[in-house]
Amino acid sequence: MDIKRNILLNPGPATTTDTVKLAQVAPDICPREREFAGRMAQLRSDLVRVVHGDPEQYAAVLFCGSGTLCMDVCLNSLLPEDKKALIVHNGAYSARAAEICRSYRLPHVDLKLPYDRPADLTAVETSLRENPDIALVYATHNETGTGLLNPIREMGALVHACGAAFVTDTTSTYAMRPIDIEADNIDFCMASAQKGLMAMTGLSFVVGRRDVIEASRDYPRRSYYANLYRQYDYFERTGEMEFTPPVQTVYAALQAMEEYSAEGEQATWVRPTRTLDAIHRALEALGFREAVRREWQAGLVAAVRCPDDPNWNFEQVHDYCYARGFTIYPGKVGTAGTFRLCALGAIDAPDIEAFFQVFRQALDQCGVAVPVEYGG
The last residue of one of the domains, among 205, 239, 262, is: 262
Residue 193's pLDDT is 96
Residue 336's pLDDT is 62
pLDDT at residue 334 greater than cutoff 80: no
263-296 tens-digit pLDDT: 999 999 999 999 999 999 999 999 999 999 999 9
Sign of CA dihedral 343, 344, 350, 351: negative
- Decide if 58 is inside a domain: yes
Report the CATH number that the domain containing residue 202 is assigned in CATH.
3.40.640.10
pLDDT at residue 331 greater than cutoff 90: no
| Average pLDDT value for residue range 332-353 | 88
164-216 tens-digit pLDDT: 999 999 999 999 999 999 999 999 999 999 999 999 999 999 999 999 999 99
pLDDT band at 332 (very low <50, low <70, confident <90, very high): confident
Residues 231 and 275 in one domain: no
Residues 29 and 41 in one domain: yes
Average pLDDT, the chain: 96
Report the CATH number that the domain containing residue 314 is assigned in CATH.
3.90.1150.10
Q: Which domain holds residue 338?
A: 265-366
Instruction: Encode 313-347: b = buried (16+ Cβ within 10 Å), e = exposed.
Output: bbeebbebbeebebbbbebbbeeeebbbbbbbbbb
Q: How many domains does the chain have?
A: 2
- Decide if 319 is inside a domain: yes
The last residue of one of the domains, among 236, 262, 288, is: 262
32-91 tens-digit pLDDT: 999 999 999 999 999 999 999 999 999 999 999 999 999 999 999 999 999 999 999 999
Residues 253 and 313 in one domain: no
pTM of the model: 0.95
- Decide if 45 is inside a domain: yes
Residue 375's pLDDT is 84
